[in-house]
């Protein structure tokens, strides 16, 4: 099987909205340059979407156009390192997931123990917020809730949701 056919077959088997890199195809193809060239050609033809250098997405097409991948998929490489959780989503994206606002932000904030400068990935600006507490899978929902309380004065909320017993 040729490199292009192998990569196209592998991409067809991936779920829609899944973000992948060159390293997803290292096991089946030995030539890294062939992988890079094939993925860039698929992005140019519109079969996949190029999010940033080395990051691609299999997008879902609806009658209204192509859907963006989930925000956690866009930054999944920043949330885990070698299978260990190193960060979590916070900020406006968490406000939206908790139902405290209906606005969808183009800024993704990540709570991490070490801060890095902001950068862009496709249409999103990704920044990090310093989190002094230990980050584990078990305490991520609690940290997100605490962050939501801390930043509640900055973002518009729906007061009736804050008083409900949904938490």
**Domains of the chain: which residue ranges?**
3-66, 71-158
Bridge partners, 37 (sequence order): none
pTM for the full model?
Answer: 0.70
Contact 54, 21 (CB under 8 A): yes
pLDDT at 76: 85
pLDDT at 164: 47
pLDDT at 150: 77
As given in the structure block, the two tokens for residue 30 are 């030995």
Q: Residues near 100 by Cβ (< 8 Å), separated by ≥ 6?
A: 148, 152, 155, 157, 158, 161, 162
Q: What is the bridge-based pairing of β-strands 107-112 and 124-130?
A: parallel
Query: pLDDT truncated to tens, each residue of the chain (167 aa)?
Result: 688 888 889 999 999 888 898 888 877 677 888 888 989 999 999 889 888 888 898 888 889 888 878 888 888 888 888 888 999 998 887 887 877 777 778 888 999 988 889 988 878 889 988 988 888 899 998 998 888 877 766 655 554 444 444 54
In order, the DSSP letters of 8-26 are: HHHHHHSPTT-EE-GGGGT
Start-to-end Cα distance in the chain: 52
pLDDT at 22: 86
> Is domain 3-66 given the CATH code 1.10.10 in the classification?
yes
CA distance 121 to 43: 15
């Amino acid at each position: 099987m040729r490199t292009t056919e192998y990569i196209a077959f592998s991409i067809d088997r991936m779920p829609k909205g899944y973000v992948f890199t060159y390293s997803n195809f290292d096991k089946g193809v030995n030539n890294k340059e062939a992988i890079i060239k094939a993925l860039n050609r698929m992005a140019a033809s519109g079969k996949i979407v190029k999010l940033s250098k080395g990051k691609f997405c299999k997008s879902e097409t609806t009658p209204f156009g192509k859907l963006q991948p989930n925000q956690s998929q866009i930054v999944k490489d920043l949330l885990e390192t070698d299978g260990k959780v190193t960060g979590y989503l916070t900020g406006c994206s968490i406000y939206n997931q908790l139902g405290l606002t209906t606005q969808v932000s183009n800024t993704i904030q990540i709570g991490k123990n070490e801060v890095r400068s902001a950068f862009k990935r496709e249409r999103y600006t990704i920044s990090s917020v310093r989190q002094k507490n230990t980050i584990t899978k078990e305490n991520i929902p609690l940290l997100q809730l605490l962050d939501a309380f801390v930043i509640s004065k900055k973002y518009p909320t729906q007061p009736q949701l804050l008083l409900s017993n949904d938490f």
